[in-house]
């Protein structure tokens, strides 16, 4: 029969360790895990080291020479040999107490930050593993050694104190502001979160942890998250990322979003980023930055889809499949001539209900409602209300298509103004 012992980190820290001859070895200060250890094809956080205080010396040893058991309900730690843990390997793992206790982690299921009060582990013949974190009140009380007494007292009033566990697979560590832990292999679970949820989490982090988390996201994910962040968090990240990293992220974002961010930066910093970005991307942003604040041009998106009236429905669908545009780009589809002059619009609905060989000229709507890039933002609301449109094309004085105003951006702008005026 397989035997195993479950225990809490708070119970083992401070425990006295004895050897097989019952001679005192030292006091447990912390446990060290290899978080990416693979066992039977599954990634498990294996305890590989133990930090001991021996008189006035603190050393880390391999956990292979130690055993954790419960005898009559009391936790015991025994040692049959002391094998020094290789210093180079300390960069490949995390000390549980130092890295997690009282630190913030991400609850991936709850999509929020929580505080670690204790950690549950299990010791078995195959090894000792971290099972879950305790974020409940009982975990905190266990740490200060008063959980049993308080539980008995509260039972007199029919009040219970329970633990609240999150299994290890459902967490991601993010707060390493007080340690030297390298994060290059961490945070991969964060990639599974929706950008909006991840943005909320990053905003709740301390400023240094924000940077640590953001830096390990791939460029596509980082760009999506950056769009969802509040302005203060955007500026903080851009100012503390390397110029090359920041430019790579900005290149993946819509030009109008980038222009809004750069507009909040010092001119010198904004110019640095523009020079680092690819010429095509930076040129789009520069053109938007030239529009005066409060004009339609300053908030329009230059990400739009335009076609020729001679294209067939099948041609358009093939291009959409190839480009895989963002949802907002499909709010309204535009028809232009060879001079890029706006002549008509059509909708995604018009497209999908039409036969593949039908030409766009047969389903388009000529003389489209449009805005001029030099109009004031305050005129947009009337257009949206009157014509019930999700996206309105924007042209210059020569009627050349410049972009479109998306209702999402208008709402954000109005909300931003209200926040500023409070």
Q: Report the chain (422 residues): mean pLDDT per 10 consecutive residues.
A: 80 93 94 76 82 92 92 89 88 87 81 86 90 83 64 56 75 56 50 85 82 85 92 93 93 91 92 93 92 88 93 95 90 94 94 94 92 88 79 93 84 51 46
Q: 256 and 319 in one domain?
A: no
Quick one: pLDDT at residue 160? 57
User: In which residue are the tokens 């820290």 written?
Assistant: 13
Q: 286 and 318 in one domain?
A: no
List the domain range (segments joined by +) for residue 111: 5-169
Quick one: pLDDT at residue 421? 45
Q: 126 and 215 in one domain?
A: no
Q: 222 and 79 in one domain?
A: no
Q: Within a 13 Å sphere around the CA of 94, how many CA atoms are in the beta-carbon half?
A: 27
Q: 214 and 67 in one domain?
A: no
Quick one: pLDDT at residue 183? 35
- N- to C-terminal Cα distance for the chain? 67
Quick one: pLDDT at residue 253? 92
182 falls within a domain = no
H helices present in 267-406, as ranges: 267-276, 279-289, 296-299, 313-323, 348-352, 380-387
Give the CA-trace dihedral at 172, 182, 62, 142, to 10 degrees: -40
Helix (H) or strand (E) holding 261: helix 255-262
What is the strand order of the sheet 401-406 is part of? 371-372, 391-395, 401-406
Quick one: pLDDT at residue 399? 94
Quick one: pLDDT at residue 184? 36
Contact between 32 and 94 (Cβ < 8 Å):
yes
Q: What is the CATH number of the domain that holds 407?
A: 3.10.580.10
Q: Take residue 369 and report the two structure tokens written for it.
A: 């409602």
79 falls within a domain = yes
Q: 151 and 93 in one domain?
A: yes
Q: Take residue 163 and report the two structure tokens written for it.
A: 């633990």
Quick one: pLDDT at residue 204? 84
Q: What is the CATH number of the domain that holds 200?
A: 1.25.60.10
Distance, CA of 107 to CA of 189 (rounded, Å): 10
Q: 165 and 266 in one domain?
A: no
């Amino acid at each position: 029969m397989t035997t195993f012992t479950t225990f809490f980190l708070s119970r083992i820290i401070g425990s006295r360790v004895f050897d097989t001859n019952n001679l005192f070895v030292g006091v447990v200060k912390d446990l060290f895990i290899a978080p990416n250890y693979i066992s039977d094809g599954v990634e498990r956080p294996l305890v590989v080291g133990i930090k001991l205080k021996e008189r006035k010396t603190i050393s880390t040893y391999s956990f292979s020479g130690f055993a954790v058991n419960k005898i009559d309900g009391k936790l015991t730690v025994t040692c049959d040999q002391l094998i020094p843990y290789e210093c180079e390997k300390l960069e490949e793992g995390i000390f549980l107490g130092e890295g997690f206790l009282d630190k913030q982690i991400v609850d991936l299921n709850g999509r929020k930050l929580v505080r670690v009060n204790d950690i549950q582990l299990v010791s078995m013949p195959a090894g000792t593993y971290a099972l879950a974190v305790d974020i409940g009140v009982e975990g905190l009380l266990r740490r200060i050694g008063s959980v049993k007494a308080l539980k008995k007292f509260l039972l007199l009033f029919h009040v219970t104190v329970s633990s609240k566990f999150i299994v290890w697979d459902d967490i991601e560590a993010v707060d390493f502001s007080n340690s030297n832990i390298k994060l290059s292999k961490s945070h991969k679970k964060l990639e599974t979160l929706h950008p909006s949820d991840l943005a909320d989490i990053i905003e709740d982090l301390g400023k240094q942890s924000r940077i640590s988390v953001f830096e390990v996201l791939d460029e596509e994910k980082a760009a999506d998250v950056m769009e969802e962040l509040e302005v203060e968090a955007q500026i903080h990240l851009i100012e503390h990322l390397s110029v090359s990293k920041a430019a790579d992220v900005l290149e993946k974002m819509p030009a109008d979003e980038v222009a809004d961010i750069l507009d909040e930066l010092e001119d010198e910093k904004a110019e640095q980023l523009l020079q680092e970005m690819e010429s095509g991307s930076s040129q789009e942003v520069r053109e938007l930055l030239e529009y005066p604040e409060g004009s339609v041009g300053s908030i329009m998106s230059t990400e739009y889809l335009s076609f020729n009236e001679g294209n067939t429905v099948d041609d358009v669908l093939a291009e959409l499949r190839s480009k895989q545009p963002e949802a907002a780009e499909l709010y309204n589809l535009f028809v232009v001539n060879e001079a890029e002059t706006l002549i008509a619009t059509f909708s995604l609905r018009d497209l999908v209900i039409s036969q593949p060989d039908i030409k766009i000229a047969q389903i388009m709507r000529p003389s489209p409602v449009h805005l001029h890039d030099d109009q004031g933002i305050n005129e947009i609301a009337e257009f949206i209300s009157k014509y019930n449109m999700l996206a309105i094309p924007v042209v210059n004085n020569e009627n050349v298509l410049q972009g479109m105003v998306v209702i999402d951006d208008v709402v954000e702008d109005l909300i931003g103004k209200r926040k500023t005026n409070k």
